[in-house]
Amino acid sequence: MALPPYPHARRTALFLDFDGTLVDIVARPDAVALTEATRDALATVARHVDGALAIVTGRDIATIDAFVAPLRFPIAGVHGFTRRDAVGRVQMPQLDGDLLDKLKDGLRLLCSENEGLLLEEKAGSVALHFRARPELEDVCIATMERIVDGAGGFRVSRGKMVVEARPKDANKGAAVTAFMREAPFLGRVPLFAGDDVTDEDAFAAVNAAGGISIKVGDGLTAASYRAPTTAAFVAWLVDYAQHLEGEGS
Ligand SMILES: O=P(O)(O)OC[C@H]1O[C@H](O[C@H]2O[C@H](CO)[C@@H](O)[C@H](O)[C@H]2O)[C@H](O)[C@@H](O)[C@@H]1O
């Protein structure tokens, strides 16, 4: 289960997770940095696949825009809750904002009592990061579950040293499927690469569509291929971009 052979650019649609896939996991969400080599590779691959390259992430769309600037891609944000298509139309379902505010209030209290916990407020979701206080993992999860319990429309989801309250119906698989119904993705073979548990929904959708699924890093997965590390995946992407430039496709 190594990395796949380079896919044919004119027949492939690429869907790429961000944290842990295009950038290394670091201490704080605001401390990640896309390397110039990765940025260049994304631009080159996107050009060769005629724009059929989207970022599918747990982050807000605006946050990803800032990290990849001056590039701009179709993006599914907040695990598929928000989506900006290839022509720039943004979709974001209605949500009970008061309920989300109540969830945030409960979590702010926990953060004020425990230095090092970090609250990340996103469109339609809130993430509680405990990377700086790993011993508080159980407390964070229990608090999130208690707060979300009975908050119709939300569910608790886990990530890397983070627990999140996010809209129940949003998932990355549904986001990939939605992109695949639209130009320039329509009619192509989907490829998804991701490193985290929320990426498994996308792997399932891509596998069902006969596509290429790539797990980045360790862990049980439904993906068909694996990159052992973020660096290995990024190196594959950079090599793929060079290959496309070389063949002039
Ligand atoms: O779907 P992704 O693009 O992989 O986003 C998943 C979450 O990534 C971010 O948190 C993770 O990365 C941080 C920076 O490396 C790290 O400090 C944190 O511990 C990780 O959980 C992001 O902050 C979340 O909003 C995303 O949901």
Dump pLDDT digits (tens) for 111-156: 999 999 999 999 999 999 999 999 999 999 999 999 998 778 899 9
What is the bridge-based pairing of β-strands 75-77 and 212-216?
Answer: unpaired
Region 2-22: what's the mean pLDDT?
A: 98
* pLDDT reported for residue 229: 98
Compute the C-alpha angle 202/204/209, nearest 5°. 95
Sheet holding 118-122, edge to edge: 118-122, 125-129, 162-167, 154-159
| Atom 5 of ligand 1, residue of closest alpha carbon | 58
**Percentage above 70 pLDDT, the chain:** 99
User: Annotated catalytic, 17?
Assistant: yes
pTM value surpassing 0.90:
yes
Region 144-171: what's the mean pLDDT?
A: 92
* Unique residue bearing structure tokens 């790993």: 134
Distance 241 CA to ligand 1 centre (A): 25
Region 226-246: what's the mean pLDDT?
A: 98
| Atom 17 of ligand 1, residue of closest alpha carbon | 28
Of the candidates 131, 197, 209, the one whose C-alpha atom is nearest the C-alpha of residue 166 is: 197
Whether 249 has a pLDDT exceeding 80, the answer reads: no
| Atom 25 of ligand 1, residue of closest alpha carbon | 59
Distance 32 CA to ligand 1 centre (A): 9
* Unique residue bearing structure tokens 């631009």: 43
* pLDDT reported for residue 248: 55
CB atoms within 10 A of CB 220: 8
Region 185-192: what's the mean pLDDT?
A: 98
* pLDDT reported for residue 206: 98
By most ligand atoms within 8 Å of CB, the mutation choice from 15, 16, 17, 19 for ligand 1 is 19
Per-residue confidence band for 53, with pLDDT thresholds at 50, 70 and 90: very high
Region 28-55: what's the mean pLDDT?
A: 98
C-alpha of 2 from chain center: 21
Whether 41 has a pLDDT exceeding 60, the answer reads: yes
Dump pLDDT digits (tens) for 77-104: 999 999 999 999 999 998 888 888 989 9
Q: For CA atoms 169, 16, 233, 62, give the dihedral sign.
A: negative
